[in-house]
């Protein structure tokens, strides 16, 4: 069964600007799927629509998995002062205390932050914050992660940590995750199961990540086709 189906999706902002134009694509199954495209090509709008934050004007989204968004800047996503309290926000409110603690510890361990429950957020590196945001998404039982340039603000080491984490979660044998990942950092295409170009509000066909990278690399830095 497909992890996501988008059919004929169109969206126009209130100011009349078209962001998506009869966009159709599907994610065939679990794995790490990447989208690249120029500024304003509609990538962030698409992720927000898949997350259910914006209503389609035309078209439909078939979404069998629970989605969760992970933004570029984790400081816009993390709300409470400690790692544990932030993850607790993602848990069902009626969970008893002991189960809450266990769920928090489990989510932290999944992202390589075991023992961080009482650590203040401000003491975390950018990469650790991004992994904590992912822990929150996992704690909410999301199985479709929507990541909007999650490594844009990270150094190379943290970038690799976050990529490796998502790769591992997508390769998990029992319950593999589906991740839809927007990037401007073309080196990341080496990590994906498939990559597609977004242009003028439409998603192109899935391609091998390295092949798409080779196709885009001749462009001047920072100017992916759009």
Ligand X SMILES: Nc1ncnc2c1ncn2[C@@H]1O[C@H](COP(=O)(O)OP(=O)(O)O)[C@@H](O)[C@H]1O
The residues binding Mg ion (CB under 5 A) are 43-44
Tell me the C-alpha distance between 211 and 209, whole Å.
5
Give the nearer residue to ligand X in terms of CB position, either 36 or 103: 36
Q: Minimal distance in Å, beta carbon 210 to Mg ion? A: 23
Window 28 to 57, contacts with ligand X (CB under 6 A): 37, 39-45
**At closest approach, how far in Å is the CB of 28 from ligand X?**
23
Q: Contact between 13 and ligand X (CB under 6 A)?
A: yes
CB of 37 to ligand X, least distance (A): 6
Interacting partner of 39 out of ligand X, Mg ion, none (Cβ under 5 to 8 A depending on kind): ligand X
Does residue 127 bind ligand X (CB under 6 A)?
Answer: no
CA distance linking residue 50 with residue 138, whole number of Å: 17
Regarding 150 and contact with ligand X (CB under 6 A), the answer is: no
In this structure, the strands spanning 67-70 and 144-148 are: parallel
Residue 49, classified by CB atoms within 10 Å of its CB into exposed (0-12), middle (13-18) or buried (19+), is buried
Q: What gap in Å lies between CA 186 and CA 225, rounded to an integer?
A: 12
151 binding partner (options ligand X, Mg ion, none; Cβ < 5 to 8 Å by kind): none
182: which 2 tokens? Answer: 């927007």
How many Cβ atoms from other residues are within 10 Å of residue 210's Cβ? Answer: 13
């Amino acid at each position: 069964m497909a992890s996501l189906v988008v059919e004929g999706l169109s969206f126009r902002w209130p100011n009349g600007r078209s962001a998506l134009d009869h966009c159709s694509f599907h994610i065939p199954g679990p794995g790490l799927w990447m989208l690249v495209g120029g500024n304003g090509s509609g990538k962030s709008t698409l992720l927000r629509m898949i997350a259910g934050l914006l209503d389609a004007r035309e078209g439909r989204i078939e979404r069998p998995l629970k989605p969760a968004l992970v933004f570029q800047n984790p400081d816009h996503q993390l709300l409470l002062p400690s790692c544990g309290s932030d993850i607790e926000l993602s848990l069902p409110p009626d969970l008893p205390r002991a189960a809450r603690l266990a769920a928090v510890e489990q989510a932290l361990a999944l992202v390589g932050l075991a023992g961080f429950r009482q650590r203040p957020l401000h003491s975390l590196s950018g990469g650790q914050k991004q992994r904590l945001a992912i822990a929150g998404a996992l704690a909410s039982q999301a199985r479709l992660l929507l990541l909007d340039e999650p490594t844009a603000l990270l150094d190379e080491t943290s970038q690799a940590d976050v990529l490796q984490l998502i790769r591992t979660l997508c390769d998990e044998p029992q319950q593999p995750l589906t991740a839809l990942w927007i990037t401007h950092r073309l080196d990341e295409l080496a990590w994906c199961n498939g990559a597609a170009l977004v242009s003028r509000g439409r998603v192109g066909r899935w391609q091998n990540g390295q092949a798409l990278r080779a196709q885009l690399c001749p462009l001047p830095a920072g100017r992916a086709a759009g």
